[in-house]
Amino acid sequence: MSFKTIIIITLSVLITVIFMQNTDQVLFTLLWKQVYVSKLWMMLIVTFFGFIIGLIVAWPKKKKAYDADKNIPLEVQNTNDEAYLSTNKTQDLSDEDKDYIN
């Protein structure tokens, strides 16, 4: 058994014991209405909603697609000691490199 499985089983047993010890009725006020509800049910409902909120918060976000029109690669070129941005890439490849690529 992995460490994660042991922790999950242990926590499940502890939570079950806590739930079973709290079965008495309590007064619960919902806006203007007062109702008697079992502590067990209230703890289960709160645990369920907490789990759902945790899933929503931890849900992976979708990655944005690469937009070629908005993300134009720029490079800084130094000419005459002045730095400027250019979208034109110079061909710095040797003849051997060009032959290898082709």
- The tens digit of pLDDT for each residue in 13-25 reads 998 888 788 878 8
Which pLDDT score, from 0 to 100, does residue 67 have? 55
- Answer yes or no: are the C-beta atoms of 41 and 23 closer than 8 Å: no
- The tens digit of pLDDT for each residue in 30-80 reads 888 998 988 888 888 888 999 999 889 888 777 666 555 555 555 555 555
Taking the CA atoms of 91, 95, 97 and 101 in sequence, report the sign of the dihedral they define.
positive
User: What SS3 state is found at 32?
Assistant: coil
Q: Check residue 24 and report its DSSP letter.
A: S
Whether this prediction's pTM lies above 0.75 is answered by no
